[in-house]
């Protein structure tokens, strides 16, 4: 350690040991979240200052069952501890987090870490839960058996980490100077490690306690063969209701704010090109992404709460059989669920899947789940072309079309996954082996920190790639400017129109006219932009609501039913979202897979849109 | 490994049954799977209680071992040899 630099403490532990809660409690909001270079493992570092004034940089490493790496996460943990990870200096000491309620399960990792011979201390986390269950641990005996300092902690309570911080400030200096512990007695094989762990756990446990009743009772309901899946689907239904209904008001505020800014910019900027760039390019483009923030935050609120409470692992348990049908396992369920709000968090959530093949498969099919950006497009076309009437009593025809589009996406995702797992990503079936953690009341501070971090990641995206692509697309649709006395809308004379007319030869067979082809170009940046683009192409002006109503009217006259349905089907598949492709590149670290994703989605979009066009044409004439 | 008349695979058990691990069916387990199973606690002499099972094909199953509840598929559970405890 260089003088003046902060002490570096690596937080290591099994998944579900409460490590992240402890990290949040130790560092509060002072965290930096990033990525390790070259791998898609999250790097979380936070600064802690002890009462005596020592600065400690706490590094929260991914949860790991062992030092034999099985996933990208575990590999990074191993490398950081050994000081071999790019982008991370070797830690000065290791703080190993152990769940006090299941000592025997967590101790093998402690022993493995100890064998590395690094300065190290152990904290018994969740002491409150252990107490509740009547488990009594002799901390001194445990420290003696392990030959390491041991201190209790309760990460979810503010005062629960005080003893830990005190121990940290008093022992860190002495830890460094101590000779490495004697590691010759630690077994090197898994069987031996477990046996030794069990022996130490028994020696240090004064009272075994009784099992947590709540978990047992709740599991009897949530994992019930029939009630379990029913409750899961009820929860999912509630979640989607919330995503769409609770988000409506804040989305309107954001929309109002953007419109206000646009009006302000229009009135203040005299230069027409600059004004158009700011109003139609930057504000409209970034606004079209930012508007989804409420939906994404609500979805993540649900996901974070379900995860923190321990339910998410049960959802993976319940969905495993279905996912096994397409060659994946229950772990793939969470990323696919997130993709209903937005494929980007979904693709990022695939990190937790330990098998590389399963992870790639999940990433490849995530864009097929109907994300919220498709909604404005679906809503416009359905309002324009599907009659608002009831079928089978109470079910509306429009709602049914919307529902079938969702269903179509799900079926397509599962089918593509099954095909990928049988061809390009073939491999032995991956075992499930999933820990079902104890149920817990979610800690609201942890949920709030998680939400804040998601919001930051999402907003950074809106500021980066979306901003740049919006400016490029704006330039394409604005230049060259229309000649004097032009009768068509300006976009008709722009570079985008040349491309659009060129594209029309490609799209004519699936029923797209040149207006659609042109609108697809700005729509590449983000799906919902197509609505605004169609408005531009059909030379509409006025408020957005006016555009929507009159656009539906205009489209009804300009398009045939086969064209409209073909357009809908195109949107089920087409990867019209640069951010999804960008995040896929980052997560797979491969241009090949990114191009493959874009390629197969465009191909499916073309084939299915074409089939829809010709079949509808044959029926309605 | 002491195989007796009470020897079954974990995969053949139903919720409510308890058992003790006597070993892994060597020929059916890759070294990697063996390492993971041992790591998650399916080692010799571990006491196991079968807790829950899924709707279709009773798959996957949830078992309690070393104070922790683990989910696994019958396919993997079938590689774990256990001695069933007498019903209480």
User: In chain A, what are the domains?
Assistant: 7-210 (3.40.50.300), 233-422 (no CATH), 444-620 (no CATH)
pLDDT at A543 over 60: no
Task: Please give the structure tokens belonging to residue B23.
Answer: 């070993």
User: Is B72's Cβ below 8 Å from some Cβ in A?
Assistant: yes
pLDDT at A540 over 60: no
Chain B partners within 8 Å of A191 (Cβ): 38, 43-44
Chain B partners within 8 Å of A70 (Cβ): 36
Classified as helix, coil or strand, A36 is: coil
Q: Closest CB to B60: pick one of A105, A195, A320.
A: A320
Higher pLDDT, A34 or A195: A195
b (16+ CB within 10 A) / e for A575-593: bbbbbbbbbbeebbeeeeb
Give the pLDDT band (50/70/90) at residue A269.
confident
pLDDT of residue A542: 47
Quickly count: other Cβ atoms within 10 Å of residue A27's Cβ: 22
Contacting residues for A410 by C-beta, under 8 A, at least 6 apart: A368, A369
The span from the CA of A431 to the CA of A434, in Å, is 9
Instruction: Indicate which of B60, B63, B75 best probes the interface with A, i.e. most A CBs within 10 Å of its own CB.
Output: B60
Chain A partners within 8 Å of B37 (Cβ): 433
Give the pLDDT band (50/70/90) at residue B63.
very high
> In angstroms, what separates the C-alpha of B6 from chain A's closest C-alpha?
24
Give the pLDDT band (50/70/90) at residue A419.
very high
Higher pLDDT, A32 or A437: A437
User: Is B70's Cβ below 8 Å from some Cβ in A?
Assistant: yes
A12 neighbors A109 (Cβ within 8 angstroms) = yes
CB pairs under 8 A between A and B: 103
* Cβ-defined contact of A324 to B39 (cutoff 8 Å): no
Chain A partners within 8 Å of B33 (Cβ): 431
b (16+ CB within 10 A) / e for A121-143: bbbbbbbbbbbebebebebeebb
pLDDT of residue A388: 79
User: Is A219's Cβ below 8 Å from some Cβ in B?
Assistant: yes
The span from the CA of B13 to the CA of B36, in Å, is 21
pLDDT of residue A500: 83
* Cβ-defined contact of B71 to A432 (cutoff 8 Å): yes
Mean pLDDT of A189-211: 88
- Chain B residue nearest residue A102, CA to CA: B67
Chain A partners within 8 Å of B78 (Cβ): none
pLDDT of residue A180: 66
* Cβ-defined contact of A104 to B54 (cutoff 8 Å): no
User: Is B51's Cβ below 8 Å from some Cβ in A?
Assistant: yes
Chain A partners within 8 Å of B55 (Cβ): 225-226, 228-229, 321
A12 neighbors A94 (Cβ within 8 angstroms) = yes
Chain B partners within 8 Å of A228 (Cβ): 55
The pLDDT tens digits of the residues spanning A470-518 come to: 777 778 877 787 788 777 767 778 888 888 888 889 999 999 988 888 7
Give the pLDDT band (50/70/90) at residue A413.
very high
User: Tell me, what DSSP letter sits at residue A277?
Assistant: I
Contacting residues for A546 by C-beta, under 8 A, at least 6 apart: A540
User: Tell me, what DSSP letter sits at residue B55?
Assistant: S
User: Is A194's Cβ below 8 Å from some Cβ in B?
Assistant: yes
* Cβ-defined contact of A435 to B67 (cutoff 8 Å): no
Kindly report the CATH class assigned to B7-84.
mainly beta
pLDDT of residue B88: 60
pLDDT of residue A106: 92
Classified as helix, coil or strand, A434 is: strand
Instruction: Indicate which of A194, A197, A209, A311 best probes the interface with B, i.e. most B CBs within 10 Å of its own CB.
Output: A194
Give the pLDDT band (50/70/90) at residue A187.
confident
Cα A457–A461–A463 angle (5° rounding)?
Answer: 115
Q: Closest CB to A431: pick one of B43, B62, B73.
A: B73
The pLDDT tens digits of the residues spanning A95-152 come to: 999 999 889 999 999 999 998 888 899 999 988 888 888 899 999 999 999 989 999 8
B46 neighbors B20 (Cβ within 8 angstroms) = yes
Q: Is the preceding omega at residue B60 within 30 degrees of 0, hence cis?
A: yes
B55 neighbors A226 (Cβ within 8 angstroms) = yes
The pLDDT tens digits of the residues spanning B18-47 come to: 999 999 887 777 888 888 898 888 988 889
Give the pLDDT band (50/70/90) at residue A1.
very low
Give the pLDDT band (50/70/90) at residue A544.
low
CA B8 from chain centre, in angstroms, equals: 9
Picking from A584, A572, A170, the residue whose alpha carbon sits closest to that of residue A348 is: A584
User: Is B33's Cβ below 8 Å from some Cβ in A?
Assistant: yes
The percentage of chain A sitting over the pLDDT mark of 90, rounded to a whole number, equals 25
The lowest-confidence range among A197-201, A213-217, A317-321, A395-399 is A395-399
421-460 of A, contacting B, C-beta below 8 A = 428-429, 431-437
The pLDDT tens digits of the residues spanning A362-411 come to: 999 999 998 878 887 888 888 888 887 877 776 778 888 888 898 899 99
* Cβ-defined contact of B71 to A103 (cutoff 8 Å): no
Task: Please give the structure tokens belonging to residue A135.
Answer: 């488990």
Task: Please give the structure tokens belonging to residue A162.
Answer: 């005080």
A491 neighbors A536 (Cβ within 8 angstroms) = yes
> In angstroms, what separates the C-alpha of B84 from chain A's closest C-alpha?
21
Cα Rg of chain B (Å, integer): 12
Q: Residues B36, B42, B45, B46: what is their CA dihedral angle, to the nearest 10 degrees? A: 130
Strand order in the sheet with B18-24: A434-436, B68-72, B61-65, B47-53, B18-24, B80-84, B7-9
* Cβ-defined contact of B71 to A108 (cutoff 8 Å): no
- Chain B residue nearest residue A318, CA to CA: B54
pLDDT of residue B61: 95
A428 neighbors A418 (Cβ within 8 angstroms) = no
* Cβ-defined contact of B51 to A313 (cutoff 8 Å): no
The pLDDT tens digits of the residues spanning A586-620 come to: 888 889 999 999 999 999 999 999 999 999 999 98
Higher pLDDT, A434 or A35: A434
Higher pLDDT, A417 or A117: A417
* Cβ-defined contact of A321 to B69 (cutoff 8 Å): no
Mean pLDDT of B48-75: 91
- Chain B residue nearest residue A17, CA to CA: B68
Give the pLDDT band (50/70/90) at residue A170.
confident
- Mean per-residue pLDDT of chain A: 84
A316 neighbors A556 (Cβ within 8 angstroms) = no
* Cβ-defined contact of A194 to B35 (cutoff 8 Å): no
pLDDT at A298 over 90: no
Task: Please give the structure tokens belonging to residue A399.
Answer: 């709602």
Mean pLDDT of A190-198: 89
pLDDT of residue A546: 55
CA B44 from chain centre, in angstroms, equals: 11
Domain ranges for chain B, please list them: 7-84
Higher pLDDT, A22 or A282: A22
Give the pLDDT band (50/70/90) at residue A2.
very low
């Amino acid at each position: 350690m260089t003088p003046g630099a902060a002490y570096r403490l690596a937080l290591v532990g099994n998944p579900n040991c409460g490590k992240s809660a402890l990290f949040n409690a130790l560092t509060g909001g002072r965290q930096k979240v990033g990525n390790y270079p070259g791998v898609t493992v999250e790097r979380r570092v936070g600064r802690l200052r002890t009462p005596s004034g020592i600065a400690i940089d706490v590094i929260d490493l991914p949860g790991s069952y062992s030092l034999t790496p099985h996933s990208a996460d575990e590999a990074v943990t191993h490398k950081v501890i050994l000081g071999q990870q790019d982008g991370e200096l070797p830690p000065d000491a290791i703080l190993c987090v152990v769940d006090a309620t299941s000592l025997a399960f967590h101790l093998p990792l402690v022993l493995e870490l100890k064998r590395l011979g690094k300065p190290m201390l152990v904290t018994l986390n969740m002491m409150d839960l252990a107490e509740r269950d009547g488990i009594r641990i002799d901390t001194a005996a445990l420290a003696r058996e392990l030959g390491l300092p041991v201190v209790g902690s309760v990460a979810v309570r503010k005062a629960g980490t005080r003893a830990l911080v005190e121990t940290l400030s008093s022992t860190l200096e002495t830890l460094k100077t101590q000779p490495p512990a004697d590691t010759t007695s630690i077994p090197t094989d898994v069987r031996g490690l477990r046996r030794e762990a069990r022996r130490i756990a028994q020696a240090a446990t004064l009272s075994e306690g009784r099992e947590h009743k709540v978990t047992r009772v709740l599991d009897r309901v949530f994992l019930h063969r029939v009630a379990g899946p029913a409750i899961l689907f009820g929860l999912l239904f509630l979640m989607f209701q919330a995503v769409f209904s609770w988000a409506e008001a804040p989305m309107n505020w954001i929309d109002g704010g953007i419109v206000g800014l646009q009006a302000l910019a229009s009135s203040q900027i005299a230069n027409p090109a600059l004004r158009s760039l700011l109003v139609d390019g930057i504000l409209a483009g970034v606004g079209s992404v930012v508007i989804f923030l409420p939906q994404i935050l609500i979805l993540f609120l649900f996901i974070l709460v379900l995860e923190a409470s321990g339910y998410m692992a049960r959802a993976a348990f319940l969905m495993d059989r279905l996912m096994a049908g397409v060659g994946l396992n229950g772990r793939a369920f969470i990323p696919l669920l997130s993709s209903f709000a937005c494929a980007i968090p979904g693709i990022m959530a695939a990190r937790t899947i330990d098998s590389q093949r399963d992870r790639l498969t999940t990433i490849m099919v995530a864009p097929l789940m109907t994300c919220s950006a498709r909604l404005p497009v679906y809503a416009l076309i359905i309002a324009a072309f599907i009659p608002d009437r009831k079928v089978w009593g109470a079910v509306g025809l429009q709602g049914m079309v919307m529902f079938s589009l969702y269903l179509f996406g799900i079926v397509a995702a599962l089918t593509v996954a099954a095909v990928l797992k049988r061809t390009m990503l073939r491999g032995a079936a991956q075992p499930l082996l999933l820990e079902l953690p104890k149920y817990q009341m979610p800690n609201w501070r942890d949920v709030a920190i998680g939400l804040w971090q998601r919001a930051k990641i999402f907003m950074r995206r809106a500021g980066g790639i979306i901003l740049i692509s919006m400016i490029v697309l704006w330039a394409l649709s604005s230049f060259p400017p229309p000649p004097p006395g032009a009768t068509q809308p300006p976009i008709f004379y722009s570079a985008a129109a040349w491309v659009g007319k060129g594209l029309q030869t490609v799209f004519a067979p699936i029923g797209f006219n040149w207006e659609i082809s042109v609108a697809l170009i700005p729509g590449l940046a983000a799906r919902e932009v197509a609505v605004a683009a169609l408005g531009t192409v059909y030379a509409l002006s006025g408020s957005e609501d006016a555009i929507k109503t009159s656009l539906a009217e205009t489209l009804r006259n300009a398009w045939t039913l086969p064209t409209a349905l073909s357009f809908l089907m195109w949107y089920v598949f087409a990867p019209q979202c640069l951010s999804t492709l960008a995040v896929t590149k980052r997560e797979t670290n491969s241009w090949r897979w990114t191009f493959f994703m874009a390629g197969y989605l465009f191909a499916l979009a073309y084939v299915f849109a074409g089939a829809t066009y010709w079949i509808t044409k044959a029926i309605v004439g | 490994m002491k195989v007796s008349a009470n020897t079954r695979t974990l995969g053949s058990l139903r919720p409510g049954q308890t058992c003790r691990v006597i070993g892994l069916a060597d020929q059916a387990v890759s070294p990697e799977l063996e390492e993971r199973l041992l790591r998650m606690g399916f080692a010799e002499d571990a006491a196991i209680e079968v807790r829950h099972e899924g709707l279709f094909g009773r798959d996957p199953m949830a078992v309690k071992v070393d104070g922790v509840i683990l989910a696994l598929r019958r396919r993997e559970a079938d590689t774990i040899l256990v001695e069933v405890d007498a019903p209480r």
